[in-house]
Amino acid sequence: MHPLVSLAKRAVEEYVRHGHVIDPPEDLTPEMEKKAGVFVSLKKGGQLRGCIGTFAPTTANVAEETIKNAIAAATQDPRFAPVGEEELESITYSVDVLSEPEPVSDQTELDPRRYGVIVVKGPRKGLLLPDLEGVDTVDEQLRIAKMKAGLSPRDEECEIYRFEVKRFH
Total domain count, the chain: 2
- Cβ–Cβ under 8 Å, residues 135 and 142: no
Task: Give me the residues of the chain with pLDDT under 70, please.
Answer: 155-156
Position 155 scores a pLDDT of 64
Whether 131 and 76 map to the same domain: the answer is no
Residues 94 and 122 in one domain: no
What confidence score (pLDDT) does residue 153 get? Answer: 82
Same domain, 78 and 157: no
What are 27-39's pLDDT values in tens digits? 999 999 999 999 9
Domain boundary among 98, 120, 143: 98
What sections of the chain are H helices per DSSP?
3-18, 30-33, 62-75, 138-148
Residue 30: which residues within 8 A CB-CB, separation 6 or more?
Answer: none
Q: Are 48 and 76 in contact (CB under 8 A)?
A: no
